[in-house]
Structure 1
Amino acid sequence: MTTQVAFLFPGQGSQTVGMGEDVFAASAAARHVFATFDQILGFSLSDLCFQGPEETLRSTINAQPAIVAVSLAYLAAFQEALSPQYSSWSTPLTPSYTAGHSVGECSALAASGAIDLAGAAYLVKERGRLMHEEETACPGGMAAIIGMDAQTLQQICEDVSKKMQQEQTDNSRHPGFGQVILANFNAPGQIVISGEQHALEAACLLAKERGAKRVIPLTVSGAFHSPAMQPAVNKLAVSIASTELRDTVIPVIGNVKAQPLTTEAELRTELAEQVAQSVQWTGIIEYLAAQGVTTFFEIGPGQALAGMIKRIVKGATIINIGSVSDIKKAVNKVQESDLLAE
């Protein structure tokens, strides 16, 4: 096991039309990943990834399995490039830890050895479907707040939610209505808030008034990691209960508490609860750094995680694997280093 290496996987918002097409053409291992997802989902996810349309790809029900499929395709192609005789997600380069941002945790679960490819495809299909149901029932969104401390932003969200709740007279409405919370602790000075649309808009305005440097709406279609997703938790738990999981070979650092998850029971609890809980990404990277991790592989579309890591851990080595050319560069770096020798 390579003690200073972690495999990290991106979440929703990283999707782009055309993603994965190059690795599909270049790698038999990657084609197997796409074929498995196409079969489990019952339609050509690969065509949607490669050709769009963008609006369809951006929809939660499609974006989540697409991001996981592309991430695992690049991981498979990378290990295949290191050794054509590769036999798992974690060989020949074996990390000490895996982690994923939001839906990226499903990719991390596969990389950890806790779930097989078909199981990962089914799980992320159900996750996307159930979260799509709740974003339809309680329309909302997310926004990155730049340059504001967590305490001030927390107070803004509490003030807005309290005001919205006082104005609400219909107690039968969705539990997410009028709610906005701190959803993603991405990096120092970069926190994402999430909530029902009116509450989110009010919180964004208040953040600007109280000194936020920037407020950036995210390209997601729902209020993820907020009370708007709470009804999905129990429903997802049912799907998770029917999915075969194992104890991890490699620990997964969980989104909810930024602590290692190794047992099947821990994983089942985490996977259900995290859709409505905040993502502790800063805590995850700080934990990994404290364990001696110095090289972070970001595997999947985009480079959003790299920017976060640079703000959390100064001097970290970040290797992106999101294209065939990235794979070639990563293989060269690994072969030139002592990473495979550990």
Structure 2
Amino acid sequence: MSLCILCPGQGSQTLDMLPRLLAEPLIEPQLAPLLHAMPFDAMAVSQNPAECFANAHAQPLIVAVGAAVSQALKAQGIHVNLSAGYSIGELTAHAVAGSVQALESVGLAVKRARCMDQAAPPAHGMMAVKGIRLEKLHAIAQEHGLAVAIVNDEQHGVLAGPTAVMKSICKGMERELGAHVVHLNVQVPSHTPWLIDATVAYRRTLESASWAPFDCPVLSALDGSPVESSAGAIDCLARQISEPLQWARTLDLAQEMGATVYFETGPGNSLTRMVRERFSNVQARSLSEFQSFDGALSWLRSQTS
């Protein structure tokens, strides 16, 4: 069986995610050094609802969690065939693949957030829209000066742009089009041309990073293509800041490359739910769905042995 590790993006944080993981004997040795390396008090920030979703905090926290979980899996002999990440999760996916060391991935996340915060226009954000076909969503975006930032499936996308504009149209979309709209706890218009300056700045950061051989391919969320070189990683990680993500295509390519088992590092299980909705013939679970890491390990071993 072929295992694909999924790494989530921002918005899936919970106030108890770090205490829960630090209580796991197999994860704590992997996670604690990553938290200590952050330029802020990771534990205090993660448990403060006013701070844990801020871009500068959320990105390194999410990468640290995913990197630590994946390192714990490897230490227990779990073999990974593919990795893929949603937004900032694509950086985590490189830690899974071993193309960057876990500690460096957290440092790169800190710098990514900084580049994005410096480039982002004020009062912009993102909202998820479900139940509207993509053609209609693109038309709505064009009409209101927004951008389609992420395609999750044929009737599920993420819009980005001025927060006031998105708030002004969401009720009409729900009432007139039957859409389900969720305003995301993200303060920057990720994956849109508004952040082209961040792409330029972050590319320089990535070019100075230390890259290693890949243990497995990383599927780029730009188009699902497998990345197995530092040049490819640098290009995709830089471009995805200001270009839309084709997450549906990424999941399709994972299946085409033989993935039959999917495991989401957490926090949350949003990517797991997307896989279940898209494919009926695969096994997909998230760490957050288990009572313990041991339970997740037992399930993974039963599915991949």
TM-score when normalising by structure 2: 0.92
SS at match of 1:141: strand
Equivalent residue, structure 2, for 1:18: 16
Equivalent residue, structure 2, for 1:222: 188
Q: Is the 8 A contact 1:285 1:313 kept in 2?
A: no
Equivalent residue, structure 1, for 2:261: 295
Equivalent residue, structure 2, for 1:176: none
Equivalent residue, structure 1, for 2:140: 156
Aligned ranges 1:115-154 → 2 under 5 Å: 115-135=100-120, 137-154=121-138
Q: 2: CA distance between counterparts of 1:130 and 1:248? A: 26
Equivalent residue, structure 1, for 2:234: 268
Equivalent residue, structure 1, for 2:25: 27
Q: Give the CA deviation at 1:184.
A: 1.3
The code of the aligned residue for 2:65 comes to: V
Listed one character per residue, the Cα deviations across residues 271-295 of structure 1 (whole Å, up to 9, x for unaligned) are 1110111121111111111222111
In the alignment, is residue 99 of structure 1 matched against residue 97 of structure 2?
Answer: no
Equivalent residue, structure 2, for 1:166: none
Q: Is the 8 A contact 1:23 1:73 kept in 2?
A: no
Q: 1: CA distance between counterparts of 2:35 and 2:258? A: 35
**Which moves more between the two structures, 308-317 or 108-117?**
308-317
Equivalent residue, structure 1, for 2:243: 277
Number of residue pairs matched?
A: 305
Residue in structure 2 matching 1:328, options 284, 294, 297: 294
SS at match of 1:58: coil
The code of the aligned residue for 1:155 comes to: A
The code of the aligned residue for 2:126 comes to: M
The code of the aligned residue for 2:5 comes to: F
Q: Give the CA deviation at 1:18.
A: 1.6
Q: Give the CA deviation at 1:209.
A: 6.4
Q: Give the CA deviation at 1:250.
A: 0.6
Which residues of structure 1 form unaligned runs of 5+?
Answer: 83-91, 162-179
Q: 2: CA distance between counterparts of 1:13 and 1:109? A: 20
Q: Is the 8 A contact 1:30 1:76 kept in 2?
A: no
Which residues of structure 2 form unaligned runs of 5+?
Answer: none
Q: 2: CA distance between counterparts of 1:329 and 1:55? A: 32
**Which of 1 and 2 has greater Rg?**
1
Aligned ranges 1:78-93 → 2 under 5 Å: 78-80=73-75, 82=76, 92-93=77-78
Equivalent residue, structure 2, for 1:36: 34
Q: Is the 8 A contact 2:125 2:188 kept in 1?
A: yes
Q: Is the 8 A contact 2:195 2:242 kept in 1?
A: yes
RMSD of Structure 2 on Structure 1 (CA): 2.1
Q: Which runs of 4+ in 1 moved over 4 A?
A: none
The code of the aligned residue for 1:69 comes to: A
- In percent, how many aligned pairs have the same letter? 23
The code of the aligned residue for 2:143 comes to: D
Q: Is the 8 A contact 1:69 1:121 kept in 2?
A: yes
Q: Give the CA deviation at 1:32.
A: 3.7
The code of the aligned residue for 1:127 comes to: R
Q: 2: CA distance between counterparts of 1:30 and 1:76? A: 11
Q: Give the CA deviation at 1:79.
A: 3.7
The code of the aligned residue for 2:142 comes to: E
Query: Residues 205, 228 of structure 1: CA spacing in aligned structure 2 closer, same or farther, 3 A cutoff?
Result: farther
Q: Is the 8 A contact 2:189 2:195 kept in 1?
A: yes
Q: Give the CA deviation at 1:108.
A: 0.4
Q: Give the CA deviation at 1:206.
A: 5.9
The code of the aligned residue for 1:266 comes to: G
Equivalent residue, structure 2, for 1:114: 99
Query: Residues 111, 322 of structure 1: CA spacing in aligned structure 2 closer, same or farther, 3 A cutoff?
Result: same
Q: 1: CA distance between counterparts of 2:302 and 2:271? A: 24
Q: Is the 8 A contact 1:255 1:281 kept in 2?
A: yes
Q: 2: CA distance between counterparts of 1:151 and 1:182? A: 11
Q: Give the CA deviation at 1:4.
A: 1.8
Equivalent residue, structure 2, for 1:48: 45
SS at match of 1:235: helix
Q: Is the 8 A contact 2:269 2:289 kept in 1?
A: no
Q: 2: CA distance between counterparts of 1:61 and 1:303? A: 22
Q: 2: CA distance between counterparts of 1:314 and 1:288? A: 14
Q: Give the CA deviation at 1:10.
A: 0.5
Query: Residues 36, 209 of structure 1: CA spacing in aligned structure 2 closer, same or farther, 3 A cutoff?
Result: closer
Q: 2: CA distance between counterparts of 1:212 and 1:183? A: 21
Q: 2: CA distance between counterparts of 1:310 and 1:60? A: 29
Q: Is the 8 A contact 2:222 2:247 kept in 1?
A: no
Q: Is the 8 A contact 2:71 2:96 kept in 1?
A: no
Q: 2: CA distance between counterparts of 1:335 and 1:112? A: 19
Equivalent residue, structure 2, for 1:168: none
Q: Give the CA deviation at 1:106.
A: 1.1
